[in-house]
């Protein structure tokens, strides 16, 4: 019986090509940050309130105008067709069924237009869960402009701009396995360039991308812009000054620069830096409903999950992802009840204790972001 995220991983590994399992699990260098992301959550402790009289709980949120029935988002992950034939279509239908925001990867093996159609079909006549679109700003700005237009026309309600990739991280597992490209028959659908006869372009990791490019992007779209991968507090403050609408506090799952801190360790400092002016979504190491509670209590408006979605997709396709999201939702609801909370709006820093770090969270400013 699948009871935990680890159960999904164990089951998925029995089905997957070991090379593809390594692609999901692996990170950069010695994979210190990969491990630290989960370990940091385990070090945190919850200090619940009692006798609060909360018989019903709401998990609904609104972030940057996107309404969802859960504060657990699907972070952008690449190459879902490596795992199941339907690829991102299966993932999108599962997300819609549970009312979760899905961030469509720029390296998706299904086009955003088809993913959006799948969410409409899975909505059961109601509104589908929102889609956001992950964007690597390309030095070819006209190609970038065309991607923004595609995402907008497909109905995406926010852009998530990955900014931690001036070069590609060193994925030693992939290098040892010779996994350097997609198998024949699969491609990154968003990198097909009609100007060049349908050639599939590589995703450019460019060190020339700067705040000037963020300003340019702000000038060509009215969609909310979140930066994914800004870890330094000064960069968080700069994001606010440059009109960025939100942050996805992420260390790329440990797949870019190894030895950076866990995102949950950085959250209080980043939250203080933005001072409630923009919402923060956190990903990296979220594996339990209690992890979600800790992140929301320390200032996140929502959390994202990446690898767990991939393991669940590999294990059971759409049904696997649905079961994963249901499981995490059940754990979150139980943790809220045990903490004396009627909803995510009741989670405050005083509920978290950090025996390893300076225990300053109880006096911190209450969490920011637009949550309802």
- Please report the beta strands in the chain, taking only residues with DSSP state E, as ranges in sequence order: 45-46, 61-63, 66-68, 72-74, 102-104, 131-135, 159-162, 192-193, 199-200, 225-228, 246-249, 280-283, 302-305, 352-353
CA atoms within 13 A on the CB side of 93: 14
Measure the CA–CA gap between 352 and 81, rounded to whole angstroms: 39
Measure the CA–CA gap between 78 and 181, rounded to whole angstroms: 12
For 91, 147, 187, 289, the CA distances from 107, given in Å and listed in that order, are 14, 12, 8, 28
∠ Cα 74 173 286 (to 5°): 30
Retrieve residue 173's tokens. 């597992």
Told to judge if 271 belongs to the known catalytic residues of this protein, a careful annotator would answer no
The DSSP bridge partners found for residue 161 are: 135, 227
Query: H or E element: which one contains 202?
Result: none
Active-site choice (80, 171, 213, 252):
252
Q: Which of 332, 346, 358 minimizes the C-alpha distance to 269?
A: 358
Q: Which of 221, 272, 268, 265 minimizes the C-alpha distance to 243?
A: 221
Q: Tokens 């390309």 map to which residue?
A: 138
State phi, psi for 304 to the nearest 5 degrees.
-120, 150
CA atoms within 13 A on the CB side of 201: 19
Residues labelled as active-site residues: 252
């Amino acid at each position: 019986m699948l009871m935990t995220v680890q159960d999904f991983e164990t089951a998925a590994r029995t089905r997957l090509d070991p090379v593809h399992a390594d692609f999901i699990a692996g990170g950069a260098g010695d994979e210190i940050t990969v491990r630290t992301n989960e370990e940091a959550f385990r070090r945190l402790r919850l200090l619940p309130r009692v006798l609060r009289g909360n018989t019903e709980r709401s998990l609904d949120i609104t972030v940057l105008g996107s309404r969802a029935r859960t504060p657990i988002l699907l972070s952008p992950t690449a190459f879902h067709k490596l795992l199941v034939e339907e690829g991102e279509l299966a993932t999108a239908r599962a997300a819609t069924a549970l009312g979760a925001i899905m961030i469509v990867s720029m390296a998706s093996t299904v086009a955003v237009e088809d993913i959006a159609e799948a969410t409409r079909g899975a909505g059961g006549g109601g509104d589908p869960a929102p889609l956001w679109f992950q964007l690597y700003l390309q030095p070819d700005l006209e190609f970038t402009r065309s991607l923004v237009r595609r995402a907008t026309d497909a109905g995406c309600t926010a852009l998530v701009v990955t900014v931690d990739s001036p070069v590609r991280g060193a994925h030693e597992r992939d290098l040892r396995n010779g996994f350097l490209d997609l198998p024949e028959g699969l491609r990154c659908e968003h990198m097909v360039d009609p100007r060049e006869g349908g050639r599939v372009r590589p995703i450019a990791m460019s060190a020339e991308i700067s705040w000037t490019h963020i300003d340019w992007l702000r000038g060509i779209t009215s969609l909310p812009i979140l930066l994914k991968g800004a870890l330094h507090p000064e960069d968080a403050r700069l994001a606010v000054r440059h009109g960025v609408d939100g942050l996805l506090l992420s260390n790329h799952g440990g797949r870019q620069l190894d030895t950076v801190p866990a995102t949950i360790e950085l959250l209080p400092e980043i939250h203080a830096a933005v001072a409630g002016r923009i919402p923060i979504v956190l990903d990296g190491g979220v594996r339990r409903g209690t992890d979600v509670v800790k992140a929301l209590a320390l200032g996140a408006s929502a959390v994202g999950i990446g690898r767990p979605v991939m393991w669940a997709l590999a294990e059971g396709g759409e049904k696997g992802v649905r079961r994963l999201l249901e499981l995490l939702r059940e754990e979150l609801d139980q943790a809220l009840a045990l903490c004396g909370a009627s909803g995510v709006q009741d989670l405050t820093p005083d509920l978290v204790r950090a025996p390893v770090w300076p225990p300053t969270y109880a006096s911190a400013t209450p969490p920011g972001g637009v949550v309802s």
